[in-house]
Structure 1
Amino acid sequence: MFVKKIVPALAVSLAALMAGTAANAEKLSVAATPVPHAELLELVKPVLAKDGVELDIKVFTDYVQPNQQVADGQIDVNFFQHKPYLDSFNKEHKTKLVTVGLVHVEPFGAYSSKIKDTKDLKDGALIALPNDPSNGARALLLLQKQGLIKLKDPSNILATSRDIAENPKKLKFRELEAATLPRILPDVDLALINTNYALEAGLNPVKDALFIEGSDSPYANIVVTTEARKDDPAVKKLVKALNSPETRKFIADQYKGAIVPAF
């Protein structure tokens, strides 16, 4: 009789303890684009729960709202961008968002549904670029590396099409929102696409890109928050989880070179 009474009592105590732990967990909201950022956050969500942090993942499909909502205090942290983009955003919007950790690199690639090799790119071909300053320049730098154009300043990470010094094929450029680029592939000869949007569209950067950045790319994706939250223990726990050996293995197994760890 004693055992029968103590077991239910113990179960009730454990349930109460677990409920109390959940109630005391610190909530941390994170804005992210779907692939691979939200996938990586889903991976570390259970780990953080055990460490007293309840992760609330907010998925966005654009590059503006994740920063704006963190700057406005509506969301705690975001994970979707690289530092050149953050620097450009801070300057344009007069925000003061800061980097708190590096996670991975998404090698930027060029895709086409019309040609299989850049040597088949005709004179006057139409090239689609992202319309934000940092990714637009990143695309131009990659085109320069392929010998298709030459910039006035070969290292300018904020170059625009107006900074092209040499364009032997007389390529034409069309600047569009980054998220729309996979959808307009049939309408252009070549599109320079961020890997997260390529993956969402079912493109394999390793197999489908005509050319792609190397793993030495300086455009590592970062975790970003406000100056006031940069030393928050919950934020530090998030970065630690994203920089864990388990996350590194998941990146290698899941994306097979389409993205590579930056830690």
Structure 2
Amino acid sequence: MRKKGLGVVFSLLVGVSVMLAGCGSGASNQASGGGAAQASPSAGQTAEAPKEVTLKVGAAPVPHAEILEFIKPKLKEEGVNLEVVILDDEGQLNPALKDNQIDANFFQHVPYLDSVRGEKGFDFAVTTKVHVEPIGFYSDKLKSADEIKEGAKIGIPNNPSNEFRALTLLQEQGLIKLKDGLTTYEATPKDIAENPKKLEFIEAEAATLPRALPDLDGAVINTNVVLEAKIDPNSALFREGANSPYANVIVVRKGDENREEIKKLDAALTTPEVKKFIEDKYGVAVVPAF
């Protein structure tokens, strides 16, 4: 009897020990399970937001830099930190791109790029068209093209592509006639075949033409220069039409056109929101090209 009682007691103790061990194991598993449950969302979360990439874009101050500033928030949401770089001399924006100081630039049209790429050895690619700045004829002295008199002094930009552009605009107004057979977007006053009013052409840096207006009868001036000089673009006596081939473009080093952040830049610049921004802010001075 006694032996039997001891056996019962022993069995009870073993049962209790097993139960306690089971409880301990359960508590341990629960704690471990709790830790896994906490870690699980991190492991199972959707991919983290992509690491922010800085994109440096060189630009003319107006309207290029202003348009870029407008799209900064959108690009920020997509993981691109857009840094707008403005140089005192816009002519250095292509060398800066070539030397990897910037990732892209936004200040030029294709005819200008074509006029300098061979001479300077630029191996660039164009990714998207953004806007046209119709070049126009401005004057402090005249009210219409009909008032342009014989021997009038006319200022024109002195870089090859914009000089051709200015002379073409004057030709469209019947003021001059260029030689036939010009095969590039380059021309100078030497390429004028007919000049019935014997106009005198003053070739100058585009940025200096607004300041020279008091000494000229008029000048053909790029719209971005007009805007920077605070001249009303609506005051142009005549200007290019909306079908101008001189759309301002995004330019990158060849091979970079497939970079994800460049594609995001191009997409952000060609949205209905940007089109409305351009039309509302600049009116006839800047025309969307997309």
The TM-score normalised by the length of structure 1 is 0.89
Work out the CA distance in 1 between the residues paired with 2:266 and 2:79.
14
For the pair shown, the structure with the greater C-alpha radius of gyration is: 2
* Range 78-87 or range 93-102, more displaced: 93-102
Structure 2: unaligned runs, 5 residues or longer: 1-47
2:214 is the counterpart of 1:214: no
Query: 1:159-191: CA deviations, max 9, x gaps?
Result: 211110000010111111111111111111111
Structure 1: unaligned runs, 5 residues or longer: 1-19
Q: Quote the offset at 1:155 in angstroms.
A: 6.0
Q: Quote the offset at 1:60 in angstroms.
A: 2.8
Work out the CA distance in 2 between the residues paired with 1:231 and 1:153.
40
2:193 is the counterpart of 1:174: no
Indicate how the Cα distance of structure 1 residues 95 and 153 shifts in structure 2: closer, same or farther if over 3 A, else same.
same
Indicate how the Cα distance of structure 1 residues 61 and 143 shifts in structure 2: closer, same or farther if over 3 A, else same.
farther
Letter of the 2:72 partner, please give it: K
Contact kept, 8 Å, 1:129 with 1:178, in 2: the verdict is yes
Q: 1:232 aligns with which of 259, 262, 265?
A: 259
2:111 is the counterpart of 1:93: no
SS in 2 for 1:116: coil
2:147 is the counterpart of 1:147: no
Work out the CA distance in 2 between the residues paired with 1:21 and 1:100.
26
Work out the CA distance in 1 between the residues paired with 2:80 and 2:114.
29
SS in 2 for 1:74: coil
Q: 2:111 aligns with which of 76, 81, 84?
A: 84
Q: Which residue of 2 aligns with 1:160?
A: 188
Q: 2:215 aligns with which of 166, 187, 197?
A: 187
Q: Which residue of 2 aligns with 1:248?
A: 275
Q: Quote the offset at 1:28 in angstroms.
A: 0.5
Q: Which residue of 2 aligns with 1:12?
A: none
Q: Which residue of 2 aligns with 1:45?
A: 72
Q: Quote the offset at 1:21 in angstroms.
A: 6.1
Q: Quote the offset at 1:153 in angstroms.
A: 2.4
Work out the CA distance in 2 between the residues paired with 1:178 and 1:68.
19
Query: 1:124-180: CA deviations, max 9, x gaps?
Result: 111111111000000000000000000012765212111100000101111111111
Q: Over the residues paired in the alignment, what is the CA RMSD in angstroms?
A: 1.5
Contact kept, 8 Å, 1:100 with 1:239, in 2: the verdict is yes
Contact kept, 8 Å, 1:141 with 1:154, in 2: the verdict is no
Work out the CA distance in 1 between the residues paired with 2:115 and 2:241.
23
Q: Which residue of 1 aligns with 2:97?
A: 70
Q: Quote the offset at 1:62 in angstroms.
A: 3.3
Q: Which residue of 2 aligns with 1:32?
A: 59
Query: 1:180-217: CA deviations, max 9, x gaps?
Result: 11111111111111100101111222x21010001011
Q: Which residue of 2 aligns with 1:135?
A: 162
Work out the CA distance in 1 between the residues paired with 2:89 and 2:157.
12
* Range 52-61 or range 241-250, more displaced: 52-61
Indicate how the Cα distance of structure 1 residues 180 and 154 shifts in structure 2: closer, same or farther if over 3 A, else same.
farther
| Percent of residue pairs identical | 53
Matches within 5 A, 1:52-67: 52-67=79-94
Residues matched between the structures, number: 242
2:224 is the counterpart of 1:196: yes
Query: 1:50-102: CA deviations, max 9, x gaps?
Result: 10100110113433111110011111100011000011110221211211100
Work out the CA distance in 2 between the residues paired with 1:60 and 1:149.
36
Stretches of 4+ moved more than 3 A in 1?
A: none
The TM-score normalised by the length of structure 2 is 0.81
